[in-house]
Structure 1
Amino acid sequence: MRSTIHFALLILITILLSACATPPPTNIQVNSQEHQAKLSQIQHWKLKGRMAFKGSDEKFSANVNWQQVDDSYHLSLNTMLGINILTMQGDKESAELNADDEQYQDTDASHLIWRITGWQIPVSQFPFWIKGQAQPTDKVIYAQSGVIEQLIPVCDSCAGWLISYQDYHQVDNVWLPYNIKLNNSALGNQILIRVNQWTKQ
């Protein structure tokens, strides 16, 4: 099962890597606390972009579509030709993953994606990380502009992760990151997300 998914995902990663070299804009100036409060209020959103994953023995890139409604989410990954690789949906109680015309379920989204793909990813933290939103226990480095530059999350499944942000854009009076790098050197994993479009609802 894994080999089939990995073969479908094996696309050149260098295009996305070069796209993620965009420097941050210089016209941002926000109050960090107020900005974080605005991010916490964004509970319904859609994201379209590209994602690249680099592990110790594999790498791939794909188009990503993510829709978040409160605690519920729907994620799809597609090849550059529009062929669906996998879809995943769920909430705090359960998760469902569809790939290669097979359906898989689990009460833990992170365990589910690890069981099917082998990727060790704390799925429950992604909605916060993608927005550049820190949790009370996280260790944060703010840029002079007031937005988060680096985030070291602190949670049971967050050990070793470092999230870096660049290229913020303003979406309905809120600055959101368009270039997100998630790195875990202990696992040998790196995820790059280049956002094409944020939609707040």
Structure 2
Amino acid sequence: MTRLWWLPLLALLLSACQTRPVTTTDFTRPEQIQRWEMNGKLGYRTPQDGGSATFDWDQTPRHGAIHFSGPLGFGSAELTWRPGSARLETGKGEWRARSPGELAWHLTGFWLPVSALEYWSRGLVWPGAPAQAEEDDSGRLVRLRQLGWNLEFDRYQAVGQVTLPHRIKARQDDNHFTLLIREWRPLP
């Protein structure tokens, strides 16, 4: 028994090294959210076409996946990406490209800037291009002009201590899309 005198000391040291797990209530600013799950609806309209689909989006800092279901002309589709590589799988085939925006063309008929949507969906300006932004008195985006898109952030929702977009309307020339986020689940 005298050989195990160090076990209580080791247990005490290990418990002191543990950190409290991060929860969704720990986020106080949208830019702190780097991992999430969200779901909602994407509607779009072009001069030639229009449609809508529900989506489930899983995001980490280096990987993303959006599952679309509904009348996009494909039934369902899975768009996945990581830096320098993206893949779109539908009932009609599989496509690969360097970015998810290139592949979104197959779904909507226009270039949908998925990399920028990673920021816009959190109510943030995408750092990859110049922008003109207008904020409300609380510092939330109300309007944004970036990548040739004019965006309106007209509804927000509280998620823990953070307020995140609920609806984003976007227009570029004759192309329009609306992103309606029903449920946000920021992840630690």
Which TM-score band (shorter chain)?
0.7 to 0.9
1:67-106 residue CA offsets vs partner (Å, 9 max, x unmatched): 11113100011117xx942110011210010011522211
Relative to its length, the structure with more strand (as a share) is: 2
TM (norm. structure 1) is 0.71
CA RMSD between the two structures: 2.0
1:99-134 residue CA offsets vs partner (Å, 9 max, x unmatched)? 115222112322233357532122211101111102
State how many pairs are aligned.
156
Partner of 1:197: 183
Determine what percentage of the aligned residue pairs are the same residue.
23
| TM-score (ref. length: structure 2) | 0.76
**Equivalent of 2:133 in 140, 155, 167:** 140
- The question of whether the paired residues in 2 share the 8 Å contact of 1:48 and 1:197 is answered with yes
The structure 1 segments of at least 4 consecutive aligned residues displaced by more than 4 Å after TM superposition are none
In structure 2, how many angstroms separate the alpha carbons of the residues matched to 1:115 and 1:199? 28
State the secondary structure of the residue aligned to 1:56. Answer: coil
5+ long unaligned stretches in structure 2:
1-27
Residue identity opposite 2:79 in structure 1: M
**Structure of higher CA gyration radius:** 2
Q: CA deviation at 1:148?
A: 0.8
SS, match of residue 102 in structure 2: helix
C-alpha distance after superposition, 1:45-84 (max 9, x if no partner): 111111101111111011111111113100011117xx94
Aligned-partner SS, 1:49: strand
Q: Is the Cα contact below 8 Å between 1:76 and 1:84 reproduced in 2?
A: no
Give SS of 1:131's match.
coil
Question: Quick one: which amino acid aligns to residue 168 of structure 2?
Answer: I
Using a 3 Å threshold, how does the CA distance of structure 1 residues 193 and 115 change in structure 2: closer, same or farther? closer
Distance 1:177 1:167 in 2: 6
Q: 1:164 to 1:111 in 2, by over 3 A?
A: same
2:155 matched residue in structure 1? 167
- AA partner of residue 181 (structure 1): K
2:95 — aligned with what? 104
Unaligned runs of 5+ in 1: 1-36
